[in-house]
Structure 1
Amino acid sequence: MPLARILWVDDEIESLHSQILFLETKGYEVKALTNGFDAIDFVKENPIDVVLVDETMPGITGLETLAKIKEVNQQTPVVLITKNETENLMDDAIGSQITDYLIKPVNPNQVLLSLKKIIDNKRLVAEKTTTAYQQQFRNLFMALNSNPDYNEWMDIYKKLVYWELEMEKSDSPEMREVLQTQKQEANTEFFKFVSKHYAGWVHPKSSESPIMSHSLFQFKVLPHVEKGVPTFFILLDNLRIDQWKAIQPIFGESFRILEEDSFYSILPTATQYSRNAIFSGLMPIDIEKQFPQQWKNDDEEGGKNLYEEEFFRAQLKRLRKDNLKFSYTKVLNYQAGQDLVANVHNLLNNDLNIIVYNFVDMLSHARTEMEVLKELASDEISYRSITASWFEHSPLHAALKKIADKKINLILATDHGSVRVKTPYKVIGDKQTTTNLRYKHGRNLNYEAKEVLAFRDPKEAGLPVPTVNSSFIFARGDGFLCYPNNYNYYVNYYRNTFQHGGVSLEEMIIPVIRMTTKGA
């Protein structure tokens, strides 16, 4: 069985006899033809792995041959061999989707290298990825066991995300499993870390606390808002760091990335808490004190995120920035997205434009409810893929492309991430206990202490006290909280769904990215 089948097309094929022999000794099967017409007919009838084609041939040129071969099979890699590399020729060749090009005279090793790059690329990358991770495994293990602080935890999580994305190139299920185990260990240690330090972050006695939801605008957004250059702050709901990495290349087409950073979502890592904290610049307990009419607890009727613009206006006033001219746009459905596309140029007159976009959160919830989406986003890889596909074709991307030729600043952030839940934890509570899967509050909650982070006094966590004697609990790692009644049904229904509200790297360490337009 040959390594690959090669078609080599050149009107001076006799002079290449030694090169063809060299490739055959390396295990390739080579078919030699002298003109483009025969090559096109041959490709129609025979499976070919790579075509090597000379650019200057009588009758039909290499580029014309290339175009016809692509019509027969779009996926066939074609290497153009040319005497010159004039700019026009290269533009035409790249436009015609060549895979590689070689300049005459070519030597056998050049051809071999090109073939290896095309045919063996996936296998070589997979092997190198696996080897590189094996070398890094010990470093990550040592970092986990060296009592990391909150900055080091952000670094550890980014490295784990990096290797998770790299492992997509590997076909080694064993190494993927090793990485998943290391990620679980990291989440176990992270849970202990958050349990020990979270109350201190909420009530800091020194400056040693990370940037969290309620301090995001003060430290990561407003310092970059400048008069005369509109800043767009986009909050893409429920976006994990790995999902940002999936859409980063699409942003990179129009924008220059100045800073890739992360911050910590407050607990619960749920929209009504974390997003209200972002826009108000306050912890939920203080939002409730300052806006008693607007704040709603989980069990109260009414929308929980209806007053973000009002909260933000008050934050600007408190920070003495209320001279900023800002707009606030929330996109909850496709029509609102189309309105954003139509209206985006009008926003260039403001100092700051806030756009809250809800797609990823809707995807997460719809995936839980709809069987077809469970198939489409069955794991982290497909969840990233569907996020990238959505963003590329979304009204948000269309709106940003419309203003990408203007001098603007762009800050992308989120309110919380999500985690794929796998481990059920039993919780018993009275009728007033909330139904959330990753956190609950209520009176007389019964649970295994090691499975949750518990605050018997919600004020310790910067949270309102919904009813007298209410306590809050947050699930650890990939756990989800189930009641004993109908236990098996709920376990099977919710296992492997993406949820948020609890304590995990995926939910709490989230992206904030600063960009500018490429012309700026």
Structure 2
Amino acid sequence: MNEINILWVDDEIDLLKPHIIFLEQKQYKVTTCQSGTEALEILDDTNFDIVFLDENMPGLTGLETLNEIKERRANLPVVMITKSEEEYIMEEAIGSKIADYLIKPVNPNQILLSLKKNLDHSRLVSEKTTSNYQQEFRKIAMDLSMVNTYEEWADLYQKLIFWELQLEDIEDVGMTEILESQKVEANLQFGKFIEKNYTDWFSPGADAPLMSHQLFKEKVVPELSDKQPTVLIVIDNLRYDQWKAFEPIVNNYYKKQSETSFYSILPTATQYARNAIFSGLMPSDMEKLFPQFWKNDTDEGGKNMHEDDFLKAQLKRLGLHHIDYEYHKITNLRNGKKLVENFRSLKNNDLNVIVYNFVDMLSHSKTEMEVVKELASNDKAYRSLTVSWFKNSPLLEMIQLSQQLGFKLILTTDHGTINVKSPTKVIGDRDTSLNLRYKTGRSLTYEDRDVYAIKDPKDIHLPALSMSSSFIFAKGDLFLAYPNNFNHYVSYYRNTYQHGGVSLEEMIIPFVVMEPK
């Protein structure tokens, strides 16, 4: 290892001679001094990797020295060593961001452990994570060849996300590439699984996962109570890994009561999946029962203008006329801030529904803006950008206010999104829908192996634009591209986030119930 330079500050430094010899035998270089003033002079001239600092010294105390060190070298780790176990000293030291805290008498192994914890931590964690993933890799590879139920697919996807987040913190490009290849293989197999089973999920009495149109009745309604208001937040276009990335922030205000996954219906697109959540119906039933609210892909006008109407009708159908509720859709910062200002007025409702559109806007702007393409160049960066937004968003303020008001919090989404890498050619007439991950129209020509094709939309409860309309859904990380102007189209859309098709990222999504801390 590179030589580690330690500065040890103690007015009784001679008594620590055995510790210093022990460290020098371990190839550490130790510089000693006997006062805070002397330590600060040495630090002005020499770089150190870590400082051991006695708390109880004549002249400048350890705490005063610590404050001076932090002003000059904010990122230099300082380990406080003290005879005193008085709580205020510990709190002062911890508040000043010490790296560790040891009580005298210290033994050499305690010192060594503190050094490893602070200086070797990232290397040790990296090695352990890599070794653990190497073992898990074989298990995941085996599971991939055997997984055959919707529950097993949800579990496997959770495992992949867990390791993706673990490997994100270590600098091992090789391991990350191996995981990426496992995700690609998983999506390949998942596409085959959906192709084989999705239609059957709509048969009466079928063994099927919980899906978008059942979510409100099966999961939200049982949580409603006249004793405690509930806030249901639907973050549009939120992937499971993005939720996991900002979950620790929410945990500061809420404790998790339950977390489950459910499957988004196809197409994994807002007008289908989110309308299904609020209506409690599949799209073909929405079209039939509410023609005044439903719009097909090729119809003019907004496709999600009637979620509130759908929700009202569902509550009525479920016999929940007595539920006092409000519905709010946030599509920009101004709307979000306005709702924060008026948030306390929601406390008299049984249910407050908030649809938050930022993540959807983020994925679309990645397609359209070069700067966002740079900032969200891969899944790790995309997660990081989501967390950065969330920390500074009105949504976090709403969650904080919900906690203060004692609201139960339900957090979910309508579908996820996937970073598309490769084009697959499709030909359709001028009435074919425009989405890059699914198409509906007449006379579609496509590569069979690249899509999940539904000849009769009624089979999966989707409306048909005409008698001969069909649907196709892109699998894995493919996107649908027309042959004319192909190269321009491909370079514009490659490595953008899209939704509507068949992938783990788009279809398996979180449903979380939390109680205020």
The two structures have a TM-score, normalised by structure 2, of: 0.98
Structure 2 distance, partners of 1:44, 1:403, is: 49
Distance, in Å, in 1 between the alignment partners of 2:70 and 2:165 is 31
Aligned 8 A contact 2:233 2:412 in 1: yes
**In structure 2, how many angstroms separate the alpha carbons of the residues matched to 1:122 and 1:405?**
37
Q: CA deviation at 1:456?
A: 1.0
After superposition, where does 1:441-520 map in structure 2 within 5 Å?
Answer: 441-518=440-517
In the alignment, what sits opposite 2:167? 167
Q: Distance in 1 between matches of 2:367 and 2:35?
A: 57
Aligned-partner SS, 2:285? helix
Corresponding residue for 2:374? 375
Conserved? CA contact 1:418–1:506, under 8 Å: yes
Offset of residue 487 of structure 1:
0.7
Other structure's SS at 1:322 match: coil
Question: How many residue pairs are counted as aligned between the two chains?
Answer: 517
Are residue 322 (structure 1) and residue 321 (structure 2) matched? yes
User: Is 1:30 aligned to 2:30, yes or no?
Assistant: yes
Aligned to 1:45: 45
Q: Is the 8 A contact 2:429 2:442 kept in 1?
A: yes
What residue number does 1:220 align with?
A: 219
The answer as to 2:174 corresponding to 1:179 is no
Contact in 2 for aligned 1:187/1:504 (Cα 8 Å)? yes
Partner of 1:279: 278
> Aligned equivalents of 2:399 and 2:166: distance in 1?
29
User: 3-state SS of the aligned residue for 2:171?
Assistant: coil
2-structure distance, mates of 1:186, 1:405: 42
Is contact 2:55–2:80 with CA below 8 Å preserved after alignment?
A: yes
Structure 1: distance between partners of 2:237 and 2:81: 48
Q: Per-residue CA shift, 1:219-271, capped at 9, x if unaligned?
A: 11110111120000000111111100111010000100111211000111111
- Per-residue Cα deviation, 1:302-341 (whole angstroms, up to 9, x for no partner): 0110000100011111111121111101111111111111
Q: Is 2:125 the counterpart of 1:125?
A: yes
Tell me which moved more, 401-410 or 285-294: 401-410
Identity %: 56
Structure 1 residue aligned with 2:355: 356
Structure 2 unmatched runs, 5+ = none
Cα distance in 2 between the residues matched to 1:382 and 1:342: 31
Deviation by residue 1:73-132 (Cα, 9 ceiling, x = unmatched): 211111110112222111111111111111101111100001001111111111111111
Number of the residue aligned with 2:251: 252
1:90-169 residue pairs with structure 2 within 5 A?
90-169=90-169
What one-letter code is carried by the residue in structure 2 that aligns with 1:123?
Answer: R
Deviation at 1:205, TM superposition (A): 2.3
Query: What TM-score does the superposition give when structure 1 sets the normalisation length?
Result: 0.98
Q: Name the amino acid aligned to 1:155.
A: D
Alpha-carbon RMSD across the aligned residues, in angstroms, is: 1.1
8 Å CA contact retained: 2:147, 2:153:
no
Amino acid at match of 2:480: L
Q: Which runs of 4+ in 1 moved over 4 A?
A: none
Partner residue, 1:436? 435
Judge conservation of contact 2:402–2:409 (CA < 8 Å) in 1.
Answer: no
SS at match of 1:404: helix
d(CA) in 2 for partners of 1:190, 1:3: 50
Unmatched 5+ residue regions in structure 1?
none
Measure the CA separation in 1 of the matches of 2:368 and 2:49. Answer: 43
More displaced 10-residue stretch of structure 1: 464-473 or 269-278: 464-473
The CA distance in 1 between the partners of 2:303 and 2:3, in whole Å, is 61
- Map Cα deviations across residues 272-311 of structure 1 (whole Å, 9 max, x no partner): 1100000000000000011112111111110110000100
Q: Which moved more, 1:460-469 or 1:414-423?
A: 460-469
Task: Kindly provide the amino acid, as one letter, of the partner of residue 15 in structure 2.
Answer: S
Residues 13-55 of structure 1, C-alpha deviations (whole Å, 9 max, x = no match)? 1111221121122121211111112222322332221111011
**Offset, 1:467:** 2.4
Residue pair 2:424, 2:480 contacting (<8 A) in 1 also = yes
